[in-house]
Structure 1
Amino acid sequence: MWCNEVKRCQNPLPSLHRERPHPASENPAVSIDLASHPLTAWNGPIGLPDYGAIRTGDFAPVFEAAFAAHNDEIATIIANPAQPTITNTLAALELAGEPLGRVASIFWGLAGAHTNPEIQKLERELAPKMSRHFSAISMNAELFARIDDLWNRRADLELDAETARVLELTWKGFVRSGAKLDETGKARLAEIGERLAGLGAAFGQNVLADEAGWALFLDHADIEGLPEFLATAMAEAAESRGEKGRYAVTLSRSIYEPFMTLSPRRDLREKAFHAFTMRGQNGGEHDNAAIVAETLALRTEKAALLGYDTYAALKLDNTMAKTPGAVMDLLEPVWEKARSKAGEDEVELRRLAAASGHNHEIAGWDWRYFADKLRAEKYAFDETELKPYLQLDSIIAACFDVAGRLFGLSFEKKPELKAWHDDTRVFEILNGDGTPRGVFIADYFNRPSKRSGAWMSALQSAHKLGGGQRPIIYNVMNFAKPAPGEKALLSMDEARTLFHEFGHALHGMLTEVTWPSISGTSVSRDFVELPSQLYEHWLTVPEVLEKHARHVRTAEPMPRALIDKLTAAQAFDQGFATVEFTASALMDMAFHQRKDAPADAIAFEAETMERLGKPDAIAMRHRTPHFAHVFAGDGYSAGYYSYLWSEVLDADAFAAFEETGDPFNPDLAEKLKTHIYAAGGSADPEALYTAFRGKMPSVDAMLKGRGLAVHSEREM
């Protein structure tokens, strides 16, 4: 289990049973048989772990045993007296640590999708231990000497392209992890890594605590005017919190956003808005201000230790963008166009508000409400019209159908199987000829033990090295759970999210690489969103909607007139959507382009937004104290821009299908599979994209899709 840069999986998973007492021992790890323990030997049906046999108390001793086993494997590589070869060094390193990878994938899955106080305590302890463990490996001088020897002889090794790529990434990963530092520098870098891991875990837990701990309980009179689907979801949320017969606004986007869009009660919208935007900034033990300040200071110090001017320069060095300047060249023009468009839209919202007797400025808790009214006025289109046609099971079927038509996959549900919670669904992935390809697990509904958002991760990544292994991929969502006997209905945004995360899942399912470290989504951060964002486009292909978007009561297909309205309104309110996203991306870059960390990160956020001229009526998509992408780990730090960067790619990529007149063009689908979904990190992303499209894109397709003025034909 080798990562080209030391990092831990932050993506979440299981409903654990009560702890089983562990036999008394000064070192419980001594008695662990990793070859048979359910956390590391996955003997369940279709290769799944046996979740019924997992106990919370097993994690700590199994981790210790897995750490020790991994260290033994590393020691064996180092002790080999033979000259380093691809087999005895690079391949051995890639295959080392399999038990650790297995227990870690289960544990970090749990920490996000179904946590509890015991898991959270262990997470705070394990995060720095994992960092310490991998730091020791990446800074091991003898191990690096063997990799360095291969690197220096690479021209004479007659390597195939994929192996050459892995060797390059591995060598650079060691260097970026401190292998060339002196002993003092290595020690300090390891300390920083441990501390950052602990801070990231604490940050995420604090946000979860604020989200789980807040609800606005309402009575029937308070929800007058709300559609049935939202009232039902709010009733379920209240009942799950011990308030049967009432209704709850929660901080889950599946309830919060439709409430902010549809509730005529401005006073209640204001309360919900403040709770949502103040997550992580409420004082007390769950306040994240100090964590953010320390995180930024440590990241700045880390960059300096590794010879970079700023943390952004460090993080971007191995991405498509390469430099902070390239990122800003994308973000700044988009920001100005979006801000201008949002200003025009706000004038329209004020007009509409005044006409309906609301003589006040548009505030953050007003925008969604009046934007919904404006859409109805302009397009005779109300998003609630879509909801009855977007039944969860139908949208899942649409996801699977598109994957079948593009890539020849099918998905066989295994209703007798569950993973970490009763809500999970398990599917066996089948190739076009019916042979097994892997496993897909889906966990769709919100619960207090699950962190917010939606994500894809892998319990097991596919590769062909050694004996190889098939993928076990999962998606986690936070949709509102329906009442018993009712169907779950999605908003269009939620349906897009389902397609988005399934696009990530396909990236993991379809990978055809040999080497584990470049499997699936193991690509640069600003390329990883291409397969997911591209897949979203197929949701709104008319023939997909006509086939799968059927009314929950009548089973009638979505009327073509409604599809046409949806298409016409696709760019509506993109000033708002682009401003809220780009504000967060610019804030991320502002933090990480500094050569010194701000003493007060929250104050610096306010100063930055004022300098940028952010409209007061539009909140950032993620404010600093709950910006988990950036602070609950380093995954998207100096990298949140990557969604927009990938959007430039995905808009151009889907245009390739549109140019053929067939959204399922088989020749183009095969190229897409070969060069994007199946290729993993086997080549430079620019080379992969060019192999598919024949050229790099300009930003114009993305701007056009967002309804913003096209300004140039500049390529990325």
Structure 2
Amino acid sequence: MKLFLKKFTTKHNTAPFSKINLSEYKEAFIKTIELAHTEIDSIANNTETPTFQNTIEALDYAGEQLDRLSSIFFNLNSAETSDEMQKIAQEVSPLLTAFSNDIALNEDLFKRVKAVHDQKEHLTLTTEQATLLDKKFKGFSRNGALLSEEDKLKLREIDTELAKLKLTYGENVLAETNNYQLHITNEADLKGLPDGTKEIARSLAKSKDLEGWIFTLDFPSYLPFVTYVENRELRKEIAIAAGRKSFQNNEFDNQLNVKNIVALRHKRANLLGYASHSHFVLEERMAQDPEKVKSFLNDLLEKAKPAALKEFSELAAFAKEIDGIEQLQKWDGSFYAEKLKQKLFNLDDELLKPYFKLENVLNGAFIIAEKLFGIKFKEVFDLDKYHQDVTTYEVTDENNNFVAVFYADFFPRKGKRNGAWMTSYKPQYVKEGVNERPHVSIVCNFTPPSETKPSLLTFNEVTTLFHEFGHALHGMLADTIYPSLSGTSVYWDFVELPSQVMENWCYEPEALALFAKHYETHEVIPQHYVEKIKESASFLEGMATLRQLSFGILDLSYHAKVQEITDVKEFEKQAMAFANLYPDVAENCMSTSFSHIFQGGYSSGYYSYKWAEVLDADAFAYFQEKGIFNKDVATKFKENVLSKGGTELPMELYKKFRGQEPKVEALLKRAGLL
């Protein structure tokens, strides 16, 4: 427990993972919450006149040990969890919610913050300081500081309940993912499946003392299965299993959790004076309100839907022509899309994978970052890590100054949730003249190495790695004064710009030549493959766009107006009816495992992926115009976007980089939807 009460004595003050004892977490949380309370009380009870320094700035630096402990604990709860850890999470979450509420509802503290805010016009503040002052004031006003005592109590109850529900929701999804396996003993059933995937499935079966092959709902296992296996019944079985996660009326069912989370979010928003949860959330986004988001999504829908319908009918006709399929089902989509792609472009993932050895791709991301932003990555072996799969790097600039610690964790395992994400173990900020550098991590679930082959990535996994690496650059290149404005602490519809813009380099011959080399022959990826990758980039883009838009519209349907949801499945069906290409599957419901909006931070914000695509297409068009490794454009991007965090309004930062507001045409052109 003492471990968390002071600065770590490790190199770069990194987390001493191997010294952390699970049994000490709860006591450490209690103690660091007490310490943070003491710091907050000393600010609230200060008898001096409130100033920016003794109130706003002091508040931003308060609770440093608690923040550090929380980031370590909850990051590990996602990447390396256990039953015991999940139990601790359930116990400490209410304590943290209560602490947050203690601050948000502390009248003496709010009076001091308000006193500084009231004299804002007469203070000489930098742009960053003015932003921090607004953020702190809104942090109180948007979290109940102006409520009556009775309503403050109601808010506390809602927040405590929501924290528990979101945790339970995530645990249920993880349990359902882990509880399913498809065990196959007849090799003929795997016709069409690539050897590499088969080998990994055999290793998994062996590790469980079983004959044959085992497939799971982890993406590197699930996706190749539904993409390549010719046995339609087996594709159907695993696809239905994936779609019914936490929708099986068992102990891991999330239907009631969905209803309760939505109801409590609405109740909270109304209590704070907002028409809906979406109105509350979007006030602090580039998009500003639900109407603007709806209009943005509908505008894209108008362009994408005709293309999606045309693509779907072509796919259905193709499936009928080659296999006599009368009705295309959800478990047919990836399979026939892959076959059609091979026919049209003579290109498939199995042809490309030998050129995308994981280590080479990661190194490629490092080289591109060096060319653009002047930073170097060096693997080091003297930093503690939480699992043997994790690799650790020191990041330095052109003058050899230390920039960041970077952790990479790439393969699926039992205690790790599905998907890919970037996170931080320590933010960047400046305190007492010292520029504290960040510790950033990317976590993915890629195809692991087998007994005979290294980890070879699909092209989709390549873009995923670059995506998360873009988030990591946003964290690593942060250069702000205050921790709460640093790195990825930006509006959620701006946070995807650095990640999505990085994906563009994966399609450029000049960039691919740096890392796309055959793992055995070291031959650079042939130019005709690169041309095919570019050509196929907008393959079935109408369908993909329609799918993304349907998720954004489902999210808004739950959160943009107050309503009674009696049946989660029925509600989802109505909300997404406009996007239905395939027949409905009665056993499936997306909402019960839509973790982005019910467990993560994307509620009322799922649209932001598309919003950021407009930004990234427009931003990359600027790179293309000047040269994809143009140092001037890269420096503008680094100085106005990557290093600035949330210190200014996103649109102002974007205009400083680009010289203009983004144009939606850049996205439509790239997607082939113009």
TM norm structure 2: 0.97
- Note the C-alpha offset of 1:347: 1.8
**Per-residue CA shift, 1:225-265, capped at 9, x if unaligned?**
2112211222233334x044421221111121121111111
1:266-665 equivalences under 5 Å are: 266-466=232-432, 467-484=434-451, 486-610=453-577, 612-616=578-582, 623-633=590-600, 635-660=601-626, 662-665=627-630
Deviation at 1:178, TM superposition (A): 0.7
Cα distance in 1, alignment partners of residues 426 and 397 from structure 2: 18
C-alpha contact 1:346 1:362 (8 A) present in aligned 2: no
Superposed CA deviations along residues 496-525 of structure 1, whole A, max 9, x for unmatched, are: 110000100000000111111100000001
The aligned counterpart of 1:148 is 114
Deviations 1:367-414 (A, max 9, x none): 111111111221222232111111100110011011101100111101
CA distance 1:258–1:622, shift in 2 (3 Å): farther
What is the CA deviation profile of residues 440-469 of structure 1, one whole-angstrom value per residue up to 9, with x for unaligned ones?
Answer: 001100011101111111100001133441
Residues 637-660 of structure 1: CA distance to partner in whole angstroms, max 9, x if unpaired? 000000000000000000001111
Contact 1:465 1:516 in 2 (8 A): no
Counterpart of 1:456 in 2: which secondary structure? strand
For the structure 1 residues 656 and 483, does the alpha-carbon distance in structure 2 shift closer, same or farther, using more than 3 Å as the test? Answer: same
Is the CA contact (8 Å cut-off) linking 2:50 and 2:116 kept in structure 1?
yes
Amino acid aligned to 2:51: T
Kept in 1: contact 2:191–2:231 (CA 8 A)? no
CA–CA distance in structure 1, aligned partners of residues 300 and 209 of structure 2: 45
The match for 2:63 is 97
Q: CA deviation at 1:51?
A: 1.4
Tell me what 1:678 maps to. Answer: 643
What CA distance in whole angstroms lies between the structure 1 residues aligned with 2:59 and 2:635?
33
SS, match of residue 428 in structure 1:
strand
User: How far apart are the structure 2 equivalents of 1:148 and 1:272?
Assistant: 56
How big is the shift at 1:71? 0.4
1:702 aligns with 2:673: no
**1:553 shift after superposition:** 1.6
CA shift at 1:428, angstroms?
Answer: 0.6
1:67 aligns with 2:36: no
Structure 2 unmatched ranges of 5 or more: none
Residue 609 (structure 2) pairs with residue 668 (structure 1): no
The question of whether the paired residues in 2 share the 8 Å contact of 1:471 and 1:508 is answered with yes
Instruction: Give 3-state SS (helix, strand or coil) of 2:299's partner.
Output: helix
1:351 deviation in Å? Answer: 2.1
Does the 8 A contact of 1:225 with 1:264 survive in 2?
yes
CA contact (8 A) 2:466 2:503 kept: yes
CA 1:358–1:282 in 2, change beyond 3 Å: closer, same or farther? same
User: How far apart, CA to CA, are the structure 2 residues paired with 1:618 and 1:257?
Assistant: 20
Task: State the distance in 1 between where 2:137 and 2:487 align.
Answer: 20
- Call closer, same or farther: CA 1:483–1:415 in 2, change over 3 Å: farther
The answer to which of 588-597 and 108-117 deviates more is: 588-597
Distance 1:393 1:617, change over 3 A: farther
**One-letter identity of the residue aligned with 2:454:** K
The count of corresponding residues between Structure 1 and Structure 2 is: 671
Displacement of 1:618 after TM fit? Answer: 8.9
- Counterpart contact for 1:39–1:54, Cα < 8 Å: no
Name the counterpart of 1:247: 213
Task: Judge conservation of contact 1:350–1:362 (CA < 8 Å) in 2.
Answer: yes
Unpaired stretches in structure 1, ≥5 consecutive residues: 1-31, 711-716
**Kept in 1: contact 2:430–2:481 (CA 8 A):** yes
CA–CA separation in structure 2 for the residues paired with 1:465 and 1:188: 37
Which of 208, 225, 232 matches 2:199? Answer: 232
Q: Distance in 2 between matches of 1:162 and 1:663?
A: 31
State the match for 2:48 in structure 1. Answer: 82
CA distance, structure 2, for counterparts of residue 374 and residue 562 of structure 1: 17
Residue 596 (structure 1) shift: 2.1
Amino acid at match of 2:647: S
Aligned-partner Cα distance in 1 for 2:201–2:535: 31
Give CA deviations for 1:52-104 in whole Å, capped at 9, x if unaligned.
21110010000000010000011111121100112211111111111101111
CA contact (8 A) 1:41 1:49 kept: no
Q: Which moved more, 1:79-88 or 1:526-535?
A: 79-88
* Deviation for aligned residue 1:40: 5.1
Partner of 1:25: none
Corresponding letter in the other structure for 2:129: T
Name the % identity.
36
How far has the Cα of 1:486 moved from its partner?
2.9
The equivalent residue for 1:693 is 658
Change (3 A) 1:619 1:173: farther
